[in-house]
Amino acid sequence: MVATVPFAETRALLKNISWQTFKIMLSEMGSERNSRLAYDNKILEIMTPLMPHENSNRLIEGYILVLCEEFSLEVKSTGSMTLTRDDLEKGGEPDSSYYIQNESLVRNKQNINLAQDPPPDLVLEVEYSRPKIDKLSLYASMNIPEFWRYNGIVLRIYVLSDNQYSEVELSPTFMPVPVKNMTQFLEESKKMGQLAAKSAFRAWVKQQIFNSEHNQYCSVNKLIC
């Protein structure tokens, strides 16, 4: 049986758009909108999320915050904050973004300027349909260390190395928990409800951490456990 994904977003593409025009559009469109923009090499993508897209985005964000809590990591959620680099003439608005390793550097900031401040440590893109702009190249150019993308079925994790992303099995931020398996809880939320699935996910994360610590203890003490 072939898995299918719902109609979850619309994408429009505009070509031959100057960087100056893009910046004007950002200013005139303002922040009170649900569309998200991405700009690279004079190409502008306008993505408008529909309910399945936003639901997946919010669920994954909830799980990311659970992970941060269970790993005792502080986090600053910056949502679909507009990321622009005038020097590169590139811009993007991920579905969600997070400061974790660099959270303390931006904790009190109301506005973040990538010319002076570090980029988010982790960004998420929900992509039920194929994006018109290469997000791997876009976010790599902005030096974002970790990039997650979810296509409605599979969660993929990419880590930046030598200015390009490589897909990995485990997130370095939340190692050794196999966070790609959170997709099973996204599916379970449709049956048991959002909060019940979140509670189940937290219990699973706790068990994964316990198992890892237990195995490490046995290994260090040369025990058969």
Question: What average pLDDT score do residues 156-162 get?
Answer: 96
Give the pLDDT mean for 111-140: 95
Over residues 142-167, mean pLDDT: 96
Where exactly are the structural domains of the chain?
50-220
Q: How confident is the model at residue 224 (pLDDT cuts 50, 70, 90)?
A: low
CATH architecture group of domain 50-220: Alpha-Beta Complex (3.90)
pLDDT reported for residue 33: 80
Kindly report, residue by residue over 37-77, the tens digit of the pLDDT: 999 999 999 999 999 999 999 999 999 999 999 999 999 99
DSSP string, the chain: --------EEEEEEES--HHHHHHHHHHH-SS-S-EEEEETTEEEEEEE-HHHHHHHHHHHHHHHHHHHHTT---EE-TT--EEETTTTEEE--SEEEESTTHHHHTT-SS--TTTSPPPSEEEEE-SS--SS-HHHHHHHTT-SEEEEE-SS-EEEEEEETTEEEEESS-SSSTTS-GGGGHHHHHHHHHH-HHHHHHHHHHHHHHHHHHHHHHHHHHHTT---
Residue 1's pLDDT band, with cuts at 50, 70 and 90, is very low
Whole-prediction pTM value? 0.90
Q: For residue 12, what pLDDT is reported?
A: 93
Q: What is the mean pLDDT of the chain?
A: 92
